[in-house]
């Protein structure tokens, strides 16, 4: 069963069993991110029912997202700009640290704010039409949606510096090579791959998925001794859950498959 809700046609939410598909629905603007779009993204991820175990983030049309809607900068004061960024931070936090893992299906432009958005997802799938860029330097502005943090953590601040200074645009395979995408598919097949991966993720124990989403980023920020303690605590909590015990027993009793290629 699939249900769809639509708010001013900017973001759509489809619930298909334990899967949610959240789609930027502004193809005539290459899915540019206005503040209304960002707020509706936040609302969509906040409102996911408890039955959902994984989400796919996508963009309708030939482009995933071409970035910030620059028309919103025309009359913005410095104070308003700060508030604007914090609304993006709040929305993107609901993706990265929200209820469920998020797989991002990308095609065409993943540029500026679109790359900032994609970097909040946990798994990123690009088709071969995808290209990545950070054109803020050429626009006379700076990253404002968390990209200086999230994208830098993915590819390193030196690469972000080069992309912003030079306007270097990377194709799908170049993006995969530096961790902007985890998978590259033939044109038009990113959503198919995203659904395949989402099904795998949904089959995991929810507590394990929660630990992966929330503990790993925390550990990456901690000194080694703190990280090891956090790891030990999360390992103890997850393995004590009844579902984990059943899964381990299933493996030991040869009722579960082994890891293989």
Q: Which residues are catalytic?
A: 116, 136
Three-class secondary structure of residue 120 per DSSP: coil
Q: Residue 136's CB: how many other CB atoms inside 10 A?
A: 21
Q: What is the DSSP letter of 82?
A: H
> φ and ψ at 4, to 5 degrees?
-130, 135
Distance of CA 195 to the CA centre of its chain: 14
Q: What is the DSSP letter of 52?
A: -
Is residue 61 exposed (0-12), middle (13-18) or buried (19+ Cβ within 10 Å)? Answer: middle
Q: What is the DSSP letter of 239?
A: H
From first CA to last CA, the distance across the chain in angstroms is: 33
Continuous segment of H or E residues that includes residue 125: strand 123-127
User: What tokens does 35 get?
Assistant: 């503040």
Distance of CA 244 to the CA centre of its chain: 26
User: What is the Cα Rg of the chain in Å?
Assistant: 19
């Amino acid at each position: 069963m699939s249900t769809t809700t639509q708010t001013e046609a900017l973001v759509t939410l489809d619930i298909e069993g334990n899967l949610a598909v959240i789609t930027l629905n502004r193809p005539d603007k290459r899915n540019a991110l206005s503040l209304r779009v960002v707020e509706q993204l936040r609302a969509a991820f906040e409102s996911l029912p408890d039955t959902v175990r994984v989400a796919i983030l996508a963009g309708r049309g030939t482009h995933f997202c071409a970035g910030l809607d620059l028309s919103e900068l025309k009359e913005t004061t410095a104070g308003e700009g700060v508030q604007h960024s914090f609304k993006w931070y709040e929305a993107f936090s609901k993706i990265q640290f929200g209820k469920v893992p998020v797989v991002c299906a990308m095609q065409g432009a993943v540029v500026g704010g679109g790359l900032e958005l994609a970097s909040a997802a946990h798994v990123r799938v690009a088709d071969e039409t995808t290209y990545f860029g950070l054109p803020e330097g050429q626009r006379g502005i700076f990253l404002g949606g968390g990209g200086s943090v999230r994208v830098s953590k993915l590819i390193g601040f030196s690469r972000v510096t080069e992309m912003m200074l030079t306007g270097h645009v990377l194709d799908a395979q170049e993006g995969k090579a530096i961790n902007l995408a985890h998978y590259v598919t033939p044109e038009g097949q990113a959503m198919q791959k995203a659904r395949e991966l989402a099904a795998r993720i949904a089959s995991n124990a929810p507590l394990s998925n929660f630990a992966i989403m929330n503990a790993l980023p925390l550990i990456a920020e901690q000194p080694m001794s703190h990280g090891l303690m956090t790891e030990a605590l999360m390992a103890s909590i997850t393995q004590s859950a009844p579902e984990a015990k059943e899964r381990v027993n299933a493996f030991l009793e040869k009722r579960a498959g082994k890891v293989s290629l």
